[in-house]
Chains A and B, each alone.
Chain A
Amino acid sequence: GAVVSQHPSWVICKSGTSVKIECRSLDFQATTMFWYRQFPKQSLMLMATSNEGSKATYEQGVEKDKFLINHASLTLSTLTVTSAHPEDSSFYICSARGRGVPYSNQPQHFGDGTRLSIL
């Protein structure tokens, strides 16, 4: 149980284009989803937290107009990198927290990440 699917696994695109990454919880309903970014040889950095049906909360230094997050249902969240540039190249990872009881200590379950390369 607790499977999170992320798509696509790899993306290579030209500078200036927008890229959408999907994150789905396959066997549970996710009230909260999280988006992280990881640069080579570094740890994961939280970008934003999204709750179903409400606006995402972004971490300090993360541009909300550049990284658009939509959490339209309890099983799907999307991250769109708008007008991507080479410095946006990174490993993007989503996670989801279920609605189990007690909700307060439900663990986050992670997708396998999306490697984004901007040429």
Chain B
Amino acid sequence: DAKTTQPPSMDCAEGRAANLPCNHSTISGNEYVYWYRQIHSQGPQYIIHGLKNNETNEMASLIITEDRKSSTLILPHATLRDTAVYYCIVTGTASKLTFGTGTRLQVTL
């Protein structure tokens, strides 16, 4: 599975968009980009995933560059409840998830 690189931490003001970047320059053609988040002392929560097209759901948007070497998770209007560790994971079909250290997002008033 392709390795991902994320900034260790980010801050975002409540109500503003949070843009979380992820680099995955060694991604293969059949590998998907998944985003999960983990709020303190809870299990990870699935957010969104995509292959090459941009995706949007009720939680977030996922923007994948044309060369697929990087992506950005966008939380359009961050709230205090979005404070969590966000994991970007690249994996092939039906493969296991390998969690890195993620990005610790702190949403502030």
Q: A2-B46, A110-B45 are in contact. Are A105 and B100 (CB under 8 A)?
A: no
Are B46 and A113 neighbours in the complex by a CB distance under 8 Å?
no
Interface residues of A in 28-47 (CB under 8 A from B): 32, 34, 36, 43-46
* B43 near A46: Cβ-Cβ < 8 Å: no
* Least CB distance, B101 to chain A, in whole angstroms: 6
| CB proximity of B34 to chain A, nearest CB, Å | 6
* Residue in A2, A36, A93, A105 whose beta carbon sits within 8 Å of that of B93 in the complex: A105
Q: Is the interface of B mostly helix, strand, loop or mixed?
A: loop
- The answer to whether A107 touches B100, judged by C-beta atoms less than 8 angstroms apart, is no
CB <8 Å contact, B49 and A107: yes
Q: Is the CB of A113 within 8 A of B43?
A: yes
Query: Chain A, interface size: which category?
Result: 20 to 34
Across the interface, do A108 and B102 meet the contact criterion of CB distance under 8 Å?
no
Contact with A along B17-61 (1 / 0, CB 8 A): 000000000000000101010100111111001010000000000
Is there contact, CB below 8 Å, between A105 and B43?
A: no
- Give the distance to chain A from B108, nearest Cβ to Cβ, in Å: 22
Q: Contacts A97-B94, A105-B49, A110-B44 given; 6 further ones with Cβ under 8 A?
A: A44-B99, A95-B44, A104-B93, A105-B51, A108-B97, A111-B43
**Chain A interface residues (CB < 8 Å from chain B):** 2, 4, 6, 32, 34, 36, 43-46, 49, 91, 93, 95, 97, 103-105, 107-113, 115
